[in-house]
Structure 1
C-alpha cells in the first residue's frame, strides 16, 4: 500500500491509504486516526474517517500546513510497526428479510433497476450464483461483517464482509437512485452492506429491515441514551433472520424500553483472521452467545 496525501484547500488534508478497499487498509486508516485523536494535536479541528482513507480539518493559523503534513507522515511511520489488533465488540442485528415495506418500495422503482422483472433479493442471489433466495439470505447472515465507516447519513454504518474476496457478496447499486428508502433498511452496494438510519433517498439494493434503532438524535431509545449513534468503526456485526412476529415483538420492546442489543467484547487479530478465516469467524460468532 502506498499512502497518498493531498491538500484540500487551506484547511484540509486528505489521506488515502489505498485505492482498493481491504481490511489491511482499513486497519491502517483506523490506527492512524486513533493516534491522531490520542495525540490531541493543537490545531486539528476534525478527523473524518472513511473505509480506507480519512480527512483532517485543521486551523492553518495554529499549525502550518507543511507541519501538519509532516505530523501525519510521522504518525503513519509509527503505526506501520503496530500489530493489527482491535479491541472491539460483536453485535447481533435482527433482520426481517424480504419484508413487505422494502418490497413495496423496490417494486415502485423497478424502472431504475438492472432487473425490472425481479426483486433485489432475487437479483442478488442470481448474480452471486446462489441457487435460491434462501441460500443467499443464509450467506448474508451467516458470516460476520466489520463496520469500516459511519456516515454519509448520520449513524449509517458501512460494513465489509469478513470473508475472502472470492466469496464476498457483491451487487451494484441501482442504475438510478430511488427517491425513497424505508428507515432501517438493510441495503447492499458493491461489497458493502449498510443499514439506512433514516428514511430517504438511496441506491443500494434492499434485502430487509431491522427493528433495532441505530440513530436517535433525541436519545430517548434505551440503548442510545449515552450517544445518539449506535455504531462506530471496528464494530463487528452478525445479522440474524427474524420473522414478522419477532420483528413486531422487538419493536414493542424498543418502545417499552426493554430492548437491549446482544453485544459481547471481542479481540480481533487481523493476522489470525487471515490465516484461517472460516475458523476465526466461527470463534467470533461463538463469543456472541457465550454467557
Structure 2
C-alpha cells in the first residue's frame, strides 16, 4: 500500500445553527480517518468556549457549538487553521488492540437470516455463502479466514448506542465488500457480527438492521449496568481508533465465555499500542503481524 497523495481541502458545511459538518474525503481510507481524528483531537485540546460535542466518523466529523458564544464563521476559521496545522498525513495514534471472540455461522443469526430471505440478494444461500461467492472465495471457511486474519480499525461508533463500524486494515484491492440487504430486516440478534459495504460492525442491541450477518460474539460491548470489568469506566466499550482482531471460536468456547459473562468475570483481551500510519502504509502485512504480536505478548 503506497502512501496516499496530498488530499484536497476538506468540505465544510453548516447543519442548522449549531453544527459544522466536515467531510475529509468522499471515500473511506485510513489517511482520511487519521486526519479527521487528528483534527478532532487538536480541537478537543483547545477546549474552545462554546464547543459542546465533537463527533468523529469514518472520513468526516461533526462539531456542535453555541453560536451565541462563538460565531459560526469563527468556528469554521478555527477548524480550518487546525486542519492546515495537521496536514495530510498524521503519524502515530496511541490506542489499544483488542481480541474479540466470534462464533461464525451460529444458529441464532442463521435462524434470523432464514426468516428474511425475500429481502436478500440471493434467497437460496446464507449470508456467509453469498459473501464468500461474490468475493471469489472457494468456501465459507476461506472467507472467514480472510475476514478474521487481519486487524480492523474502529472508525466510528454510533447508529445505536455502542455500535462500532470497523474498517479492514489491508490494501484496498484486498478489501472485502458485501452489499447490505435489499431492504432492512426488522430483527437482528444482539451482538451479531454484521457486514455492509466495506465495513464490519457489531450490533450492540437487538433490533432492525440491513447488514449481512456472519456470526455472534458472546462479549457485551454496551451495558448501562456496567457489570463487566472492561465496562466499568464507560457503558460503551469501543472508541474510534481501537484496533480489533476477530478470533473465531467454536460453540463450546462460546458457551464457556458466556458463562463468565453471566458471572461478571469475563474480560476482553486487550493491550495498549501505538499505531504508526506511515509504517502501516509502507508494509501492511508485516506491520499487522507486529500488532498481533503486541496483542499476544510476544
Report the TM-score, using the length of structure 2 for normalisation: 0.96
Aligned to 1:111: 118
> In structure 2, how many angstroms separate the alpha carbons of the residues matched to 1:153 and 1:109?
21
> In structure 2, how many angstroms separate the alpha carbons of the residues matched to 1:51 and 1:101?
29
Aligned to 2:177: 170
Aligned to 2:42: 35
Shift of 1:82: 6.9
CA contact (8 A) 2:35 2:90 kept: no
Deviations 1:103-154 (A, max 9, x none): 0000000000000000000000000000100000111110100100011111
CA contact (8 A) 2:152 2:245 kept: yes
Aligned to 1:181: 188
CA contact (8 A) 2:52 2:64 kept: yes
Aligned to 1:156: 163
Call closer, same or farther: CA 1:81–1:106 in 2, change over 3 Å: closer
Deviations 1:182-224 (A, max 9, x none): 0000000000000000000000000000000000012123321
Name which of 105, 109, 128 aligns with 1:102: 109
Aligned to 2:239: 232
Name which of 259, 262, 274 aligns with 2:266: 259
Q: How does 1:45-194 map to 2 (within 5 A)?
A: 45-80=52-87, 83-194=90-201
SS in 2 for 1:89: strand
> In structure 1, how many angstroms separate the alpha carbons of the residues matched to 2:226 and 2:292?
29
> In structure 2, how many angstroms separate the alpha carbons of the residues matched to 1:123 and 1:158?
21
Deviations 1:232-262 (A, max 9, x none): 0110000011111110110110111221110
Shift of 1:81: 7.2
- In the alignment, structure 1 segments of 5+ residues that lack a partner are none
Superposed CA RMSD: 1.0
Shift of 1:83: 3.7
> In structure 2, how many angstroms separate the alpha carbons of the residues matched to 1:168 and 1:23?
13
> In structure 1, how many angstroms separate the alpha carbons of the residues matched to 2:14 and 2:237?
31
Aligned to 1:242: 249
Shift of 1:98: 0.2
Call closer, same or farther: CA 1:225–1:69 in 2, change over 3 Å: same
Aligned to 1:22: 29
- In the alignment, structure 2 segments of 5+ residues that lack a partner are 1-6
> In structure 2, how many angstroms separate the alpha carbons of the residues matched to 1:94 and 1:83?
31
Name which of 206, 215, 219 aligns with 2:222: 215
Query: How many residues of Structure 1 are paired with residues of Structure 2 in the alignment?
Result: 291
Name segments (4+ residues, structure 1) moved above 4 Å.
none
